[in-house]
Amino acid sequence: MKPVVLVTRKLPDAVEDRLRQDYDPILNPEDALYSSEEIIERAKGADAILPCHTEQFTAGVIARLPESVRAIANFSVGYDHVDTEAAKARGLIVTNTPEVLSDATAELTMMLMLGAARRASEGERLVRTREWKDWSPSFMVGTQVTGKRLGILGFGRVGRVVAKRARGFDMEIHYNDLQRMPPELEEGAIYHETPEDLMHHCDFLTLHCVASPETTKLLNADLIALLPDGAIVVNASRGVVIDDDALIAALKSGKLTAAGLDVYNGEPNINPEYRQLSNVFLMPHIGSATKETRDAMGFRALDNLDAIFAGREPRDRVA
């Protein structure tokens, strides 16, 4: 018999086709957002669960999963929605899908940077509402990206691809990470030992941090105060790395010129003040949303499941 896999969201057609070939999937064709109770109920008889970051596997949920469940193969690179310690204690294997979404997320980061700098949200609204009247030298003046200093907080896979794309705009790259990268990965980027040291060198700041207790509200009022006046902040990593109150205050005061955001605390119920600010370029958490990347994420999750059910160590085990 084929292993039974509970799939919590609607996946790309190519991924679901492969699932049907090798597994007995319990699919979600309506793409409903299941509650924890529904996941526990639907997992009865399942050998594995293939969830997204939208589902929360707390210690309490993991404790109540059916005994048949052996693995949680995430359709995401982030796995902060899974209590990995509880999973280990239960004997569950947990995997994620790293590497395959770096290009797509870096593209979105550049879009956020350009959109925030060139006032894209304001401009589009003017055109759509027919408020655009004429041209003048002082109309819709934004910030030039070319030749500026880019600070990257978190120089992992995505951060390094962002650096590569930004070099096409002749940007000077600065970064901070837990440790300095070897020269072949730095490619001329300038290392700073602490986030505080990095802030002084950022005309633009992009965040590419994992969600953890150490990174929660990492960009707070103290760090923002160290940025040059008029800097622009971009976040396509996790909402928790930003202190919303501090960022909103800086955008209102003019300390920061603008921000570009794809991720938020409490999404989709984001801080309502963001919607009132004209100097914030907002996107709905779509960093990995290209057909190529979503297919690759699904195939990577299935590669991990294939290894698990073949008795091999999965490539992307995180618990």
300 among known catalytic residues: no
Distance separating alpha carbons of residues 309 and 215, to the nearest angstrom: 35
Q: Is residue 319 part of a domain?
A: no
Specify whether 120 is located in the same domain as 261. Answer: yes
Specify whether 112 is located in the same domain as 206. Answer: yes
Q: Give 162's contacts (C-beta < 8 A, 6+ positions apart).
A: 106, 109, 110, 150, 152, 206, 208
The parent domain of residue 268 ranges over 102-282
Specify whether 120 is located in the same domain as 215. Answer: yes
Specify whether 277 is located in the same domain as 298. Answer: no
Distance separating alpha carbons of residues 254 and 159, to the nearest angstrom: 27
Q: What are the strands of the beta sheet with 48-50, ordered from one edge?
A: 24-26, 4-7, 48-50, 71-73, 93-95
Distance separating alpha carbons of residues 30 and 32, to the nearest angstrom: 5
238 among known catalytic residues: yes
Distance separating alpha carbons of residues 73 and 281, to the nearest angstrom: 33
Specify whether 245 is located in the same domain as 305. Answer: no
Q: Is residue 314 part of a domain?
A: no
Of 201, 208, 285, 294, the catalytic one is 285
Q: Is residue 317 part of a domain?
A: no
Q: Is residue 316 part of a domain?
A: no
Dig out the tokens for 198 from the structure: 């990095």
- From residue 50, alpha-carbon distances to 7, 26, 31, 156 in Å are 5, 10, 13, 25
Q: Is residue 303 part of a domain?
A: yes
Domains in the chain: how many in total?
Answer: 2
Specify whether 151 is located in the same domain as 52. Answer: no
Asked if 153 and 209 count as a contact pair (C-beta separation under 8 A), the reply is: yes
Computed from CA positions of residues 36, 16, 103, 95, in that sequence, does the dihedral angle turn out positive or negative? Answer: positive
Could you read off the pLDDT tens digit of each residue along the chain, which spans 319 residues? Answer: 999 999 999 999 999 999 999 999 999 999 999 999 999 999 999 999 999 999 999 999 999 999 999 999 999 999 999 999 999 999 999 999 999 999 999 999 999 999 999 999 999 999 999 999 999 999 999 999 999 999 999 999 999 999 999 999 999 999 999 999 999 999 999 999 999 999 999 999 999 999 999 999 999 999 999 999 999 999 999 999 999 999 999 999 999 999 999 999 999 999 999 999 999 999 999 999 999 999 999 999 999 999 999 999 999 999 9
What long-range pairs does 30-37 form, CB within 8 A, spacing at least 24? 33/9, 34/8, 36/60, 36/61
Specify whether 148 is located in the same domain as 65. Answer: no
**Identity at 287, one-letter amino acid code:** G
119 among known catalytic residues: no
Which pLDDT score is estimated for 284?
A: 98
Cα 121 to chain centroid, rounded: 21
Specify whether 79 is located in the same domain as 116. Answer: no
Q: Is residue 142 part of a domain?
A: yes
Q: Is residue 315 part of a domain?
A: no
Dig out the tokens for 102 from the structure: 């770096």
Specify whether 236 is located in the same domain as 305. Answer: no
Helix axes 157-167, 102-117, angle to 10 degrees: 50
Of 18, 238, 294, 300, the catalytic one is 238
Global pTM value:
0.94
Specify whether 140 is located in the same domain as 264. Answer: yes
H helix or E strand, kind and range, residue 257? strand 256-261
Q: Is residue 199 part of a domain?
A: yes
Specify whether 138 is located in the same domain as 277. Answer: yes
Specify whether 66 is located in the same domain as 209. Answer: no
Distance separating alpha carbons of residues 275 and 14, to the nearest angstrom: 36
CATH code for position 139? 3.40.50.720
Q: Which residues are bridge partners to 190 per DSSP?
A: 174
Distance separating alpha carbons of residues 25 and 6, to the nearest angstrom: 6
Of 180, 267, 273, 315, the catalytic one is 267
Name residue, tokens 């040059």.
228
